Every structure is written in C-alpha cells, then in structure tokens.
C-alpha cells in the first residue's frame, strides 16, 4: 500500500469531490422542483398533462440512468442543441430523479387523510391554499425520510456522469490511477469521500424516522 499517492493527489481529489457535490446539489434541487410539479399535476388529475406526467414517470423510471445520460449527451446535439457535459449531466439527472421524486411526493400527498382537504375547503380556502398550507406541510413529514434516502442514492449516481467525460470525482480518480497505477489506494480514498458526503444524510433519516409525527 502506498498512501503517499493519495496524499499527493489530494487537491485533485478534493476538486473532484466539489464537482460531485455541485452536480448533486443541482440534481437534487432541480429534480425536487420537477418532482413536486409532476406530483401536483398527477394528484390534481389535470387532464392531458397528468397523462403526460404518467408517461414521463414510466419512461424515466423504467430505463437505466446510464442510457438517459447517453441520450441527453448524444441525442440533444443530434437535434441541434448544443449541450455542455455539465448541462447534459444535470439534465439527465434531473429528469431521472424528477420521476422518482414525483412518486415519493405523490405517495406523501395521498397519505394525508381526505378530511384535511375537506376541512380546508369548508373554511373557504382555495385548492391552492389548501395544498400549500394544509396538505403539503403534512406531506413533508411523511415523504422526507424516503426523499433523503433517494438523495443519497442520487449523490452516488452522479458518478455515472463520468461516462460522458464529465470531470467529477470518479473521473478525476481515474486519471490519478492512470498516472500512478495505484487503483486500490485511490478508490479507497474515493469511497471514503462518498461516505463522508452521504453518512450525515443517513443519520438524518434515522433521526427523522425515530420522530413520531404528532397527530
């Protein structure tokens, strides 16, 4: 074992880790926004839009993320759109995570008893106000643990962006290995970095699940 290699490459590894964090944050933020929107369309049963939402969910949950990355990266230029590697990675991860997050949030919305909405309507709240002030806050307590669980998976899935040549953590570590021929040491360090990013989120899930929702 030669840990010296890892120490010498520390700035490259940390740079890769930051890129992974950036990609994760973008995918989580945009994917959650998209997912919330799609979930609202699905639960409100908006005609046409809700069918489109359903097809979208089925397609992106039913195909490998790797393929989706290829399709965005190679497909969009084919259609005349110029996409950077970052944009392609963010687009693919957003579309992929949006489909899963939509279903997590929808399940949370549907777990709120029907009487809650009726009480809100009977007080004169509009459908928007009922959703915003009564249903969604309760959805959050139900949906947050599975949501964070999904985020953890998503952070690890950003590593797939290496396949389109995006210089995130895995890609950077590959180039260190190419230079030093020390895969075991470098990958151990990489695994540790992913763990340091993901473990606090796991702890958060455990804490949230222990908290019994007040009812």
Partner 1 sequence: MIEMKQVQKHFGSLHVLKGVDLHVRPGEVVVIIGPSGSGKSTLLRTINYLEPIEKGEIWVDGTPVHQHKDLRQVRSKVGMVFQQFNLFPHLNALQNVVLAPTLVLKKSREEADEKGRALLTKVGLEQKAEAYPGQLSGGQQQRVAIARALAMDPKIMLFDEATSALDPELVGEVLAVMRQLASDGMTMVVVTHEMGFAREAADRVVFMDEGVIMEEGAPDDIFSNPQNPRTKQFLRRVLEK
Count of chain residues binding partner 1 (CB under 8 A): 21
Helices marked H in the chain: 4-8, 10-44, 49-61, 65-70, 76-78, 85-111, 114-122, 127-129, 136-157, 169-180, 183-210
Least separation in angstroms between CB 196 and partner 1: 33
Residue with smaller CB distance to partner 1, 126 or 202: 126
Least separation in angstroms between CB 120 and partner 1: 8
User: Per-residue string for binding with partner 1, 92-121, x by CB under 8 A?
Assistant: ---------------------x-xx-xxxx
By the rule CB under 8 A, 2 interacts with partner 1: no
Closest to 174 in 3D by CA, of 27, 23, 22, 9: 9
Instruction: Tell me the two tokens of residue 36.
Output: 């919330």
Residue with smaller CB distance to partner 1, 8 or 118: 118
Cα–Cα dist 6/180, whole Å? 10
Least separation in angstroms between CB 133 and partner 1: 6
Least separation in angstroms between CB 38 and partner 1: 24
* CB under 8 A, 24+ apart: contacts of 149-154: 149/205, 150/97, 150/100, 150/101, 150/104, 151/24, 151/28, 151/201, 152/198, 152/201, 152/202, 152/205, 154/24, 154/27, 154/28, 154/31, 154/93, 154/97
Least separation in angstroms between CB 112 and partner 1: 10
Residue with smaller CB distance to partner 1, 109 or 161: 109
| Residues of this chain, 128-187, that bind partner 1 according to CB under 8 A | 129, 133-134, 137-138, 141
Least separation in angstroms between CB 145 and partner 1: 16
Residues sharing a CB contact under 8 Å with residue 73, sequence separation 6 or more, in sequence order: 83, 85, 88, 89, 92, 164
By the rule CB under 8 A, 211 interacts with partner 1: no
Residue with smaller CB distance to partner 1, 11 or 122: 122
Residue with smaller CB distance to partner 1, 86 or 125: 125
Where on the chain is the footprint of partner 1 (CB under 8 A)? 113, 115-116, 118-126, 129, 133-134, 137-138, 141, 213-215
């Amino acid at each position: 074992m030669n840990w010296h290699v890892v120490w010498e490459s520390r700035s490259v590894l940390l740079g890769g880790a930051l890129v992974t964090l950036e990609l994760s944050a973008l995918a989580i933020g945009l994917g959650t926004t998209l997912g919330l929107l799609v979930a609202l369309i699905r639960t409100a049963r908006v005609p046409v839009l809700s069918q489109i939402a359903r097809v979208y969910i089925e397609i992106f949950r039913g195909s490998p993320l790797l393929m989706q990355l290829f399709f965005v990266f190679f497909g969009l230029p084919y259609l005349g759109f110029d996409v950077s590697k970052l944009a392609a990675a963010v687009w693919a991860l957003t579309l992929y995570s949006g489909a899963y997050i939509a279903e997590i949030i929808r399940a949370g919305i549907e777990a709120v008893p029907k009487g809650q909405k009726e009480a809100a309507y009977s007080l004169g709240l509009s459908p928007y106000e009922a959703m915003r002030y009564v249903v969604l806050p309760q959805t959050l307590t139900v949906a947050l643990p599975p949501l964070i669980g999904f985020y953890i998976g998503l952070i690890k899935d950003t590593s797939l962006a290496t396949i389109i040549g995006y210089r995130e953590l895995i890609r950077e570590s590959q180039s260190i290995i190419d230079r030093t021929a020390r895969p075991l040491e470098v990958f151990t360090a990489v695994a540790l970095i992913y763990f340091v990013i993901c473990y606090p989120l796991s702890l958060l899930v455990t804490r949230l699940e222990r908290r019994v929702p007040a009812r």
